[in-house]
Amino acid sequence: MAAIFASHDKSIVPVQISGIIGRSANRKVLLGFAPANVLYSISYADVLNEDTGHGYQRRFNSQHSLDFRKYIQQENSATIPLTFNARPRSDGAWRLSQSTNGTARLVIKGDAGKLLTQVDCQHRLGYLNDVEIELPFMCFLGLTEREEMEVFNVINSKAKGLSTSLLDFHDATLATDLASERPELFIALHLNNNTESPWYRQLDLGGSSTSGLMRRASLRTMQKAIKHFLAQTKIHKKHSADISTRIVLDFWSAVAEVLRESWDNPRHSLINKGVGVYALMVIAGDLYTECSGLNCDKRYFTAKLAEFISEIDWSNKGPLKGFGGEGGVASVVSILRDKRHKRQLKVVH
């Protein structure tokens, strides 16, 4: 049970959570029970802040959390243990007091605030700040942020509703050599992080961001489209990841320039929706394959795209409306290639 012990100085009233020490596989943990409102008061969800790159969890879903609040207060309700972690601290904000019989107390300084990270309980605890119902918990002791993210990834990699883009971001963070392990993700993240990119901070990573209303596509969409481009062109066999990244960035810079009006109105255009991103990366593959002996740069892509792509109605009310899935992408690619072929024939004649 959790207990708050009295003190003359209310700013240093400690919170002590009792339990037993055990192991979750190879990790030391504290298992116990505590009121929901107490667990809420000393913990927080480390949501990914896309602006700073800090954190790793998904955006908070109010409805999900409200549903659990309603359920857990019903008769015969139950839940699996809530999972927390007490990250290493140099300021002594928490300590573990163990007994010889296996019991222990996690002692948290009264002025430490929300100290425990919610590894797997963000939505269960989200609206339980005033609920005193007792809940089971398991708290890892001393996992670093990186180790905590690894645990979160394993627990939630198949979770319903968890953003695949967020999992991609986790993979990028945990990778030792992302350019070699997942070059498509390396390039997609570069598009999102490079200030010279038209996609700068406009890919949805699954976290929270002040630029949320400006986001055009998901990280997962972009990296899958780039993966197809890499397979189509075999560019990695000829160029380094840095050069491949520059070529992809130049292509999208050319798209943004040639289709400026559509690019500046993302909510009314399909060029940066799923079907547009996939189809245009196929065209990028076509153009790259044809540029043998030429500088495959922004100037090249701009000149080639300007020959035909402006003739396509990219609005979400135009002829491309309704195309979706792999079949839809194939159809849009066929339309683009056909338009380009007809334009080339006109030039020849």
Q: Residue 111 has what pLDDT?
A: 86
Q: Kindly report the pTM of this predicted structure.
A: 0.60
Q: Residue 250 has what pLDDT?
A: 95
Q: Residue 320 has what pLDDT?
A: 84
Instruction: Look up tokens 């990699």; give the residue.
Output: 157
Cα–Cα dist 236/243, whole Å: 9
Specify the pairing of strand 15-24 against strand 103-108: antiparallel
**Residue 160: CA atoms inside 13 Å, Cβ hemisphere, count?**
1
Q: Residue 345 has what pLDDT?
A: 67
Q: For residue 107, give every residue at least 6 positions away whose Cβ sits within 8 Å of its Cβ, in sequence order, or none.
A: 14, 15, 16, 94, 95, 96, 97
Q: Residue 211 has what pLDDT?
A: 46
Q: Give the residue ranges of the chain where pLDDT is below 50.
A: 1-8, 10, 159-162, 210-213, 349
Q: How far is CA 26 from CA 154, 155, 185, 312, 321, in A?
A: 15, 15, 31, 58, 52
- Identity of the amino acid at 333: V
Handedness of CA 259, 262, 265, 266 (dihedral sign): negative
Angle between helical axes of 183-193 and 164-174 (0-180°, round to 10): 100
- Phi and psi at residue 54, to the nearest 5°: -85, 150
Q: DSSP alpha helices (H): ranges in the chain?
A: 36-41, 62-72, 122-125, 145-156, 164-174, 178-181, 183-193, 219-233, 241-258, 260-263, 274-290, 298-306, 325-348
Is residue 317 classed as helix, strand or coil in its secondary structure?
coil
